[in-house]
Amino acid sequence: MSIYEEVGEVLKHRILTSREKEIFEMLIHNFSTREIANSLHISEKTVRNHISNTMQKLQVKGRASAVVELLRLGEIHI
């Protein structure tokens, strides 16, 4: 297997975009939607969209369930 195929295999297993990961890392450190938006210089609606998109990918309802699943999958760390 070439290095490009190996990298492709690793990337297939990533669930979050870098921005989604950044947002969920902030959520687990108790940042509010407003605080995340201000820190990242994006709107609160954009933060909510990233969270919603992640919940859809994971097929879960609620931020807490998304966090639990992302921790289980090793996508984020406490």
Query: What domains can you pick out in the chain, each with its CATH number?
Result: 16-73 (1.10.10.10)
pLDDT for the residue 10: 47
Q: What distance in Å separates the CA atoms of residue 58 and residue 55, rounded to the nearest whole number?
A: 5
- Provide the H-helix boundaries in the chain: 3-12, 18-28, 33-40, 44-58, 63-73
Could you read off the pLDDT of 36-71 as tens digits, one per residue?
A: 999 999 999 999 999 999 999 999 999 999 999 999
Averaged pLDDT for residues 15-19: 94
Indicate if the pLDDT at residue 11 is higher than 50.
no
Q: What distance in Å separates the CA atoms of residue 29 and residue 1, rounded to the nearest whole number?
A: 39
Indicate if the pLDDT at residue 7 is higher than 50.
no
